[in-house]
Amino acid sequence: MATRSPLAGPATPYAALQERVSGLGQQFLNFEQATTRGFQQVESAIAALSTEVRAGGKTQWQLVVTSVGVLVAILSALGALAYLPVRTGMDQLAGETRALRDTMTPRSEQGDRWRRNDGDLAAHEAAILRLQDRIVPRAEHEEKWRSSERAAAELQRQIDDIKRACGETWSARDALSGLSRRLERIEPTERATAR
C-alpha cells in the first residue's frame, strides 16, 4: 500500500481505490474490444474457410484444424493479456481493502472509547467543581492583603512613636555612656573576685 503523506486526509485511500477501479474498468473495456476483434477475426477466418471448402469441393481438414488451432491460440493469448491486468488489479485492490479493514477501528470499539471519554470528562468536570469550591476568590485575598498592610503600617507607626518618645528622653549617646560607666564599675569587682 502506498505511504500516505501527513497532509493527506482520510479520504485519500478511498480516492486511490476509486482511481484503481476506474483503471480496471478501462482495462475491461479494452479487453472487451480486443475480444470483439478476435471474434471478428475468427468469423472472417471461418468465412474464408467456408469459401475455400465450397470452392474446392473436398473438405481440407488439415487447413481447417490448423486455422481453428491458430485462432484458438490467438484468442487465448488476447484473453490472457486482457485478463491478467484485470486479475492483478483486482487482487491488489482486494489486498488494499483488507489492509484498510485491518487498520480501521470497529464501531463497537469506538463506542466504548466514546463512553470512556464521556466518563472521564464527567469526572474531570466534577473535580474542577470541587476545586472551584475550595478556591478563595482573589478579591478576598486582596482584602486580606490590604488588612495586613494596614496592620503593618499601624505597628510601624507605633514603633516610630516609641522611638521618638524614647529618643527625646534617652539618646543613643546617653545609652553608650551609661554602659561604659557600668562596665567601669563591674571590671574592678571582676578582677578582685578572679584573684
125 in a domain, yes or no? no
Same domain, 90 and 148: no
117 in a domain, yes or no? no
Last residue of a domain, one of 86, 104, 122: 104
Q: Which domain holds residue 37?
A: 12-104
Determine the pLDDT at residue 195. Answer: 64
Residues 17, 23: contact at Cβ < 8 Å? no
Last residue of a domain, one of 104, 129, 162: 104
Please state the domain count of the chain.
2
Q: Quick one: average pLDDT of 165-174?
A: 70
Same domain, 100 and 152: no
pLDDT(29) > 60? yes
Among 44-48, 58-62, 169-173, name the most confident range. Answer: 44-48
Determine the pLDDT at residue 157. Answer: 92
Determine the pLDDT at residue 1. Answer: 44
Same domain, 148 and 99: no
Least confident of 24-38, 121-135, 148-162, 171-185: 171-185
- pLDDT tens-digit series, residues 122-141: 999 999 999 888 888 888 88
Residues 31, 82: contact at Cβ < 8 Å? yes
Least confident of 83-92, 120-129, 148-157: 83-92
115 in a domain, yes or no? no
Determine the pLDDT at residue 120. Answer: 94
